[in-house]
């Protein structure tokens, strides 16, 4: 049996997670406005979201006992 | 790999991204020019030759003075002041002189500048840099990181949305059975 998360939703969530983490670092003065991390973190989040959704490390034991995906 | 190790790896990776992308310390004012200012409300004095970071009140007045190491003759001095944004935006010009062909006859100036920034940009560290090119070949360059005191209301909204998005991400990466 194969297991997978929701890659498209995870990509969107990952992008916004990265974006808001970058904004947190910016607004709390951890990085400068010109820091490349402001651009890179949303892209890293997007890629990480897709990879994590394909890997799907969470909830495998629950999925084994549940109904198949639609 | 257990969950503690995974979290440690993720934190280490995030730390490397931020540390690797950190802006190096900026040079002070170079080329023999002089510039200084006193923030009237806080009483703090800043010398551009030695200062590379200034934390200032959100609104106030600055008594400033500046000079260039050239004689006070009529000439075309060209320069600008820019704010550095992240790639791909780059530098945004916020002021310039001499680009319209207007000549100057002085080599020093003083004044009081009133400023009033919105609360929304409080806490952000902004790199402001500028240069002045004299026809005699004198080139002055300077840079300073400016941070407005306080915390932006956006900061708390952003923090709340980060938590929401992390929870959302954890739901979207949960395993479900798929047909092979």
Domain ranges in chain B are 26-172
Residues of B in contact with A25 (CB under 8 A): 18
Which pLDDT does position A32 carry in this prediction? 95
User: Which of B123, B145, B172 has the CB atom closest to A27's CB atom?
Assistant: B123
d(CA A69, CA A63): 9
* Among the listed residues B113, B107, B81, the one whose alpha carbon sits nearest the alpha carbon of residue B96: B81
Q: Does A9 touch chain B (CB under 8 A)?
A: yes
Q: Which residue has the tokens 């997007």?
A: A46
- Residue A34 is inside which H or E element, if any? none
| Strand B45-47 with B78-84, pairing | unpaired
Give pLDDT, residue A63.
65
Instruction: Return the residue in B16, B174, B179, B180 with the most chain A beta carbons within 10 A, the one to mutate for interface testing.
Output: B174
A37 in contact with B, Cβ within 8 Å = yes
Strand order, beta sheet including B108-116: B45-47, B34-39, B59-67, B108-116
- Record: contact A56-B84, CB cut-off 8 A: no
What average pLDDT does this structure show over A40-59?
91
Closest CB to B174 among A1, A39, A58: A58
Q: Specify burial of residue B34 (Cβ count, 10 A radius: 0-12, 13-18, 19+).
A: middle
Q: pLDDT for B48-75, tens place per residue? A: 988 889 999 999 999 999 999 999 999 9
Give residue-wise pLDDT tens across range B132-178: 999 999 999 999 999 999 999 999 999 999 999 999 999 999 887 77
**What pLDDT does B127 receive?**
95
Averaged confidence pLDDT in chain A: 87
- Mean pLDDT of all residues belonging to chain B: 85
Asked if pLDDT for residue B15 goes beyond 70, the answer is no
Nearest-angstrom CA–CA distance, B129 and B111 = 20
Whether A9 sits inside 8 A of B172 (CB atoms) is: yes
Tokens 């006992």 locate to A65
Cα B8–A26–A19 angle (5° rounding)?
65
pLDDT band at A3 (very low <50, low <70, confident <90, very high): confident
- Could you tell me the maximum CA-CA distance found in chain B, to the nearest angstrom? 82
CA-to-CA distance for B130 and B80, rounded, in angstroms? 5
> Considering the domain B26-172, what is its CATH architecture?
Sandwich (2.60)
- Give the strands of the sheet with B139-148, arranged side by side: B53-56, B139-148, B125-133, B78-84, B91-97
User: What is the per-residue pLDDT for B11?
Assistant: 41
Point out the residue among B14, B158, B176 whose CB comes nearest to the CB of A20: B158
Least confident of A61-70, B15-24, B84-93, B163-172: B15-24
Q: Is the pLDDT of residue B18 over 50?
A: no
């Amino acid at each position: 049996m194969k297991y997978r998360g929701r890659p498209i939703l995870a990509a969107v969530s990952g992008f916004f997670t990265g974006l808001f983490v970058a904004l947190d670092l910016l607004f709390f003065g951890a990085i400068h406005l010109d820091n490349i991390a402001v651009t890179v973190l949303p892209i890293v989040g997007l890629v990480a979201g897709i990879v994590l959704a394909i890997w799907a490390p969470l909830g495998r034991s629950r999925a084994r006992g549940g109904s198949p995906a639609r | 790999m257990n969950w503690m190790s995974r979290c440690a790896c993720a934190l280490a990776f995030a730390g490397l991204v931020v540390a690797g992308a950190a802006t190096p310390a900026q040079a002070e004012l170079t080329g023999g020019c002089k510039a200084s200012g006193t923030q009237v409300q806080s009483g703090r004095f800043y010398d551009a030759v030695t200062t590379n970071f200034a934390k200032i009140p959100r609104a106030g007045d600055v008594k400033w003075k500046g000079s260039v190491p050239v004689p006070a003759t009529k000439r075309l001095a060209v320069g600008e002041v820019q704010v550095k944004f992240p790639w791909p935006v780059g530098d945004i010009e916020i002021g310039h002189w001499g680009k319209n062909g207007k000549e100057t006859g002085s080599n020093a100036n003083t004044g009081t500048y009133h400023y009033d920034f919105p609360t929304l940009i409080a806490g952000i560290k902004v790199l402001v840099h500028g240069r002045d090119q004299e026809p005699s070949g004198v080139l002055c360059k300077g840079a300073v990181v400016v941070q407005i005191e306080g915390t932006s209301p956006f900061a708390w909204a952003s923090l709340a949305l980060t938590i929401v998005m992390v929870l959302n991400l954890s739901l979207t990466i949960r395993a479900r059975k798929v047909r092979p």
